[in-house]
């Protein structure tokens, strides 16, 4: 089975990065990543994980600020093999 977007699960560059889809919440990204704006300018990231907004309500996009609480509902699940 081919991975989405051509990403292979064994890609060494991604081996230390995980992205968790949180129920009715942000994407939780753990590991060494670089987030850039539309011009390619990197954001300064401190800590070992970041939360990326997926509801569109955050005042600090692309990062989550908790604005999704009580108004954003999403329960995506990975397909079973």
pLDDT tens per residue across all 81 residues of the chain: 455 555 555 556 667 899 999 999 999 999 999 999 999 999 998 889 999 999 999 999 999 999 998 888 888 888 886
Q: How far apart are CA 54 and CA 63, in angstroms?
A: 9
CA distance from start to end of the chain: 10
In DSSP terms, 51 is beta-bridged to 28
- 37: domain CATH number? 3.40.5.90
Q: How far apart are CA 40 and CA 63, in angstroms?
A: 16
Q: Taking the alpha carbons of 46, 52, 58, 62 in that order, is the dihedral positive or negative?
A: positive
How many domains does the chain divide into?
Answer: 1
pTM for this one?
Answer: 0.74
Position 10 in a domain? no
Position 7 in a domain? no
pLDDT value at residue 70: 85
Which residue range forms the structural domain that includes residue 54? 17-76
* CA distances for 20 relative to 17, 23, 40, 41, angstroms: 10, 9, 24, 24
């Amino acid at each position: 089975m081919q991975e989405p977007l051509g990403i292979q699960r064994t890609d060494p560059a991604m081996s230390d990065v995980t992205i968790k889809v949180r129920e009715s919440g942000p994407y939780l990204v753990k590991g060494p990543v670089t987030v850039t704006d539309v011009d390619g300018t990197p954001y300064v990231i401190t800590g070992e994980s970041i939360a990326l907004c997926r509801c569109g309500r955050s005042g600090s996009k692309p990062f989550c600020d908790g604005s999704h609480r009580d108004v954003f509902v999403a329960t995506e699940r990975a397909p079973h093999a």
